[in-house]
Amino acid sequence: MKNKNPSANENIIRLLNEGAGFISGENIASTLKVSRAAVWKRINILRQKGYFIESLPAKGYRLTKSPDLSLEEIKNSLQKTIFKDIIYFQHIDSTNTHAMELASKGFQEGTVLIADEQIQGRGRLGRKWLSPAGKNLYMSVILKPHILPQDAAFLTLMSAVACASALRRLTSVPVSIKWPNDLMVSDLSECGHATQAGRKLGGILTEIKADMDRIMHAVIGIGININLDAEDMPDEIKDTATSIKNESGDAQSRTLIAVEILKELDRWYNILLNKGKVTIKDKWLKLSSTIGRAVKVTVMDTIFEGTAMDIDENGMLILQLSDNSFKKISAGDVTILR
C-alpha cells in the first residue's frame, strides 16, 4: 500500500509547531490552499482531540499544549524514517494481532499501529499484558527484513537496543535489557537507588511469518509502562513492575517517547540490515543486565541455574552450569539471582 499524504490536521500542527508565536488563519489557509473557514473547522477538531490552541484577533493561532499522545506530531516527526504510515486505535484487542493481519494483507514495511488501550494485550509465552487507557505505550511495527529466519532473534535484540537507547536519552531512568526482551531498571551498581532496581518497565514481542529460507514479514510489538502509577498495578505485578513516571518522578509525554523509539528503531534496523549482527550484539551486551550474572532460567518444566556468559550468533543465551558445562537457551524465563 502507498504512503498517504499528510492530513489537514497534521499540516496545521506542523505549521503551528514551526512558528515561534502566533500564525494567522490567513497564512495557514494560504499555505494549505484551503479556506479560512476550513482552517477554523480544523482548529476546533484539534481542540476536541486535546490540543490547546490559543486564538487572538489580528494575531491568529498559537499551539500552547499538545495531548499526551498526538498522532499528528508523531507523523510529523518521522518523515525521514521508514515509519510513514501510522494507524491509531483508541481501543484494540492487540496491536500485534492486528499488525500480523495487516502484514498478511500486504501492508507496507514501516506501518505502525499505536493504541491508547489494549483489551487483550499479549506478552511472551501467551501471557496477558496490562494495557489500561491513557497510561502507557502500546505499539507494533511491520518489518520485512532481508535476513534469514534463523536470525529472527536479532530483531528482538535490535528492538530492545532501540527502546533502551531511546528511554535512556529521553529520561533519567537507567534502562537495561534482560535477555531476551525485557526492559528493566538497572541495578544498584548503576542507578544508585534501591526501591525499584531490577523491576520491569516493558517488553518486546516479536512475531514472524517465514518459510524455510526467508522472512515474509515480522511484527515487533513494544509495550512500555510510562505513566502507570503504583496503585494502577495489580497485586501480582506490584513487586516486579514499575513505570517511567515512578522512576523519574515526573509524568512523561507518550508522544515524545514513541517518536524517539521509532527513530532509534529506524536507525538500528538499518544497522542490522547493512552492518549485520555483530554491531547489534555489541550494543546489546553493553546494555544487558543478564550477562555475567548468576541466573535461573525456566524452560517449560525444567530449571537451569548458572552464569549467563554470552549470546551466540543466533541470539541464544549461553549459560555456564555448576559443572562448568555450557547450555544454550533459545527461549525461557530468566530470573537474576541476587
CATH dotted code for 8-65: 1.10.10.10
Average pLDDT over residues 218-236: 88
The pTM score is 0.86
Find all residues with CB under 8 Å of 164, minimum gap 6, and list them. 175, 176, 177, 183, 287
Fold held by 71-287: BirA Bifunctional Protein; domain 2 (3.30.930)
pLDDT at 1 over 50: no
Pairing mode, if any, of strands 85-92 and 111-118? parallel
In terms of C-beta density within 10 A (0-12 exposed, 13-18 middle, 19 or more buried), how is residue 88 classed? middle
Q: What is the pLDDT of residue 8?
A: 85
Q: What is the pLDDT of residue 118?
A: 84
User: In this structure, what C-alpha cell is assigned to residue 210?
Assistant: 517465514
Range in 115-129, 172-186, 240-254, 313-327 with the lowest mean pLDDT: 115-129
CATH class of 294-336: mainly beta
Q: What is the pLDDT of residue 190?
A: 47
Gyration radius from the chain CA atoms: 22
Question: Considering the chain, what is the average pLDDT of its residues?
Answer: 89
pLDDT at 2 over 50: no
Strand partners, 29: none
Average pLDDT over residues 152-181: 94
Q: How far apart are CA 88 and CA 272, in angstroms?
A: 27
What pLDDT band is residue 132 in, cutting at 50, 70 and 90?
confident
Asked if 140 and 95 touch (Cβ cutoff 8 Å), the reply is yes
pLDDT at 188 over 50: no
Helix, strand, coil shares of the chain as percentages rounded to 5? 35, 30, 35
Q: Measured between alpha carbons, how far apart are the two ends of the chain, in Å? A: 50
In terms of C-beta density within 10 A (0-12 exposed, 13-18 middle, 19 or more buried), how is residue 304 classed? middle
Q: Work out whether the CA dihedral 163, 165, 169, 171 comes out positive or negative.
A: positive
Q: How far apart are CA 246 and CA 262, in angstroms?
A: 23
Query: pLDDT tens-digit profile of 236-294?
Result: 777 888 999 999 888 999 999 999 999 999 999 999 999 999 999 999 999 999 999 99
Query: In a 3-state reduction of DSSP, which class is residue 317?
Result: strand
Q: What is the pLDDT of residue 133?
A: 76
Domain residues of the chain, as ranges?
Answer: 8-65, 71-287, 294-336
What pLDDT band is residue 194 in, cutting at 50, 70 and 90?
very low
CB burial string 97-114: b at 16+ within 10 A, e below: bbbbebbeeebebbbbbb
